Amino acid sequence: MSHLEGRSDGSLIIIGGAEDRTDTCLILREFVRRAGGIKAHIVVIPAATSYQQEAGDDYTRLFKSFGAETVQAILTKEREDADKYEALEAIAQATGIFFTGGDQARVIQLIKGTLLDDAIHKRHRDGAVVAGTSAGAAIMPDVMIVEGESDTHPRLDAVEMGSGMGFLNGILVDQHFAQRGRLGRLLAALLIEPSVLGLGIDENTAVIVEGDELEVIGAGAVTVVDESNTTFNNMDRLLRDEPLAVFGVSLHILPHGYRFNLSSRQPTAKGDKLPAQGLPLQS
């Protein structure tokens, strides 16, 4: 299946933005824990933001406060910075790599296709945890919403698509999902990219992906939007500013502890041993 192409071996933590950084820090602690806990070597990549120093410092301070063994931020003011030896050396040692929020297009402009990009993918295949929040979440698949309009009905011109970083293909991520009313733009994006599965991730909420299994953690929910069994859409007759039509989209709302299998496309209730429809769990 197409979503398995290019699937990496390391686990991914995809965060819908505005994750708790002052209270229980559930999601960020889970990232450091999975990266090795007090033995973790964390690299922060704040390429998405134009305040790289500040964002790098903030997350560095936080991850150090959890006790990670080393934490450093790689600043990429220009694309050339992403080919430098120091950056590649840091990634080669990393057990956890964290992409901050900002503008997802900046990550692509500054990093995609560089030696740093290659090094992160290699390290991820070797088992390092890769995490990203907000813009850093949007970039995870090979296709992404570059920018778009919130709180709108689905329209082609509500969303601009582009290439992502390709850590997990076959999905499409939209972040700040409930908080910004992004159902319309995610539906539009999925009609433009019909073979993929949509994950609308709320703020302070994340999915942890290991192999084909996805688990939700955090305060909100993940809205899984599956258009694979739709019976009709009007894409063949549509001009860009006209409203989209689609029949039979399947939606799953998954809060903390709930799981979803990307291969069978089946959700699993919290604590259940079997998926809702009784299929054997693929682990």
Binding site for a copy of itself (CB under 8 A): 150-154, 178-184, 187, 202, 205, 219-221, 223, 231-232, 234, 242-256, 258, 267, 269-270, 276-277
* Residues labelled catalytic: 134, 176, 203
Sign of the CA dihedral with 31 first, then 36, 39, and 40 last: negative
Return the closest-CA partner of residue 9 out of 211, 205, 200, 179.
211
CA distances from 88 to 15, 36, 108, 125 (A): 25, 20, 17, 15
Question: How many beta carbons lie within 10 A of that of residue 240, not counting itself?
Answer: 8
Least distance in angstroms from the C-beta of 38 to a copy of itself: 31
Confirm if 215 and 242 have CB atoms less than 8 A apart.
Answer: no
Quote the CA–CA distance of 278 and 237 in Å, as a whole number. Answer: 39
Q: Give the nearer residue to a copy of itself in terms of CB position, either 17 or 164.
A: 17
Least distance from C-beta 237 to a copy of itself, angstroms?
9
Q: How far is the CB of 56 from a copy of itself (least distance, A)?
A: 30
Least Cβ distance, residue 46 to a copy of itself (angstroms): 27
| Cα 44 from Cα 71, distance rounded (Å) | 7
The residue among 34 and 176 lying less far from a copy of itself, judged by its C-beta, is 176
Q: What is the CA radius of gyration of the chain?
A: 18
